[in-house]
């Protein structure tokens, strides 16, 4: 069965520090994609970063990077130089198989303190 | 500007009533999706459609119905058969899935449905 697990219900980080949000996944498909979305209190889902299962390098997008460890089935999100505006829910999601169905984890609530 | 619109933002319904949530996109995407989000949880797929006049059930389709008469529109009806409809509903769209090629889903702002 395909599954995404986010074991950290909540995280705190000091402004300007880096933070890692954990995500582990389970799938038997050799081809899959991993996504991270940010959900502010307003509710919309904002795409942050993507990692394909065959990508050789870890994905990076500005202050976001994905620590992809395929053998461990983990895809942790690293946010560098945290900002107050980073306070939000963060969801890890996976797409596998031929369809574009996304399976989401339960999310991690990040609070950035000044 | 291109994007996805959902209306209304807040919706209140009495028990036993059907209600329809609107979702419109002008991104020229073929695929559209409906997700449900309960407090403190991730999103769960209700229905998805890859082409006009065709749609498939997701993981929690019971008590919901959809239609896809136009490429731009994918309304969701929450029927009286849905036992616990109070939730946040998100609509999304994407280009058609094509194997490993990256195709993110773009989300609308959501509709918060409360059953009184």
What pLDDT score was predicted for residue B99?
Answer: 59
**Subunit contact B99:A53, Cβ cutoff 8 A:** no
What pLDDT score was predicted for residue A31?
Answer: 85
Mean pLDDT, all residues of chain A: 94
* Residue range A18-72, pLDDT digits in tens: 999 999 999 988 888 999 999 999 999 999 999 999 988 999 999 999 999 999 9
Neighbouring-strand partners of residue A33:
A52, A95
Q: pLDDT tens for chain B, 116 residues: list them.
A: 669 999 999 999 998 899 999 999 999 999 999 999 998 889 999 999 999 999 999 999 999 999 999 999 999 999 988 889 999 999 999 987 665 567 788 999 999 999 98
What pLDDT score was predicted for residue B10?
Answer: 94
3-state class (DSSP) for residue B10: strand
What pLDDT score was predicted for residue B39?
Answer: 87
What pLDDT score was predicted for residue B47?
Answer: 96
Return the closest-CA partner of residue B58 out of B38, B80, B35, B76: B35
Quick check: A98 pLDDT over 70?
Answer: no
Nearest Cβ partner of A106 from B31, B41, B48? B41
What pLDDT score was predicted for residue A101?
Answer: 81
What pLDDT score was predicted for residue B101?
Answer: 60
Instruction: Kindly state the average pLDDT of the residues A69-87.
Output: 97
What pLDDT score was predicted for residue B83?
Answer: 87
Cβ–Cβ < 8 Å for A65, A59: yes
Count of Cβ atoms closer than 10 Å to residue B56 Cβ: 13
User: Closest residue of B to A94, CA-based?
Assistant: B104
Interface of B with A in 12-71 (CB under 8 A): 31, 33, 40-45, 48, 58
More confidently predicted of A76 and A30? A76
Return the closest-CA partner of residue B74 out of B30, B114, B36: B30
Q: In chain A, which residues have their Cβ closer than 8 Å to the Cβ of B43?
A: 45, 91, 93, 102, 104
Nearest Cβ partner of B42 from A43, A101, A106? A106
Binned at pLDDT 50, 70 and 90, residue A4 comes out as very high
Cβ–Cβ < 8 Å for B92, B107: yes
**Subunit contact A101:B42, Cβ cutoff 8 A:** no
**Subunit contact A45:B90, Cβ cutoff 8 A:** yes
């Amino acid at each position: 069965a395909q599954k995404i697990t986010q074991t950290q219900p909540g995280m705190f980080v000091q402004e300007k520090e880096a933070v890692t949000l954990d995500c582990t996944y389970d799938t038997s498909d050799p081809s899959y994609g991993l996504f991270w979305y940010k959900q502010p209190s307003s509710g919309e889902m904002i795409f942050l970063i993507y990692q394909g299962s065959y990508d050789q390098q870890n994905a990076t997008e500005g202050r976001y990077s994905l620590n992809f460890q395929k053998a461990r089935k983990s895809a942790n999100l690293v946010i560098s130089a945290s900002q107050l505006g980073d306070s939000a829910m963060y969801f890890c999601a996976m797409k596998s198989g031929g369809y574009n169905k996304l399976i989401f984890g339960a999310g991690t609530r990040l609070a950035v303190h000044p | 500007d291109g994007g996805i619109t959902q209306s209304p933002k807040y919706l209140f319904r009495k028990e036993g009533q059907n209600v329809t949530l609107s979702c419109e996109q002008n991104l020229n995407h073929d695929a559209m999706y409906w997700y449900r989000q309960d407090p403190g949880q991730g999103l769960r797929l209700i229905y998805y459609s890859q082409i006009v006049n065709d749609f498939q059930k997701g993981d929690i389709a019971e008590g919901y119905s959809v239609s896809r008469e136009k490429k731009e529109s994918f309304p969701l009806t929450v029927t009286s058969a849905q036992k616990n409809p109070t939730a946040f509903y998100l609509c999304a769209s994407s280009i058609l899935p094509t194997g490993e090629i990256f195709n993110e889903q773009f989300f609308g702002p959501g509709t918060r449905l409360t059953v009184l």
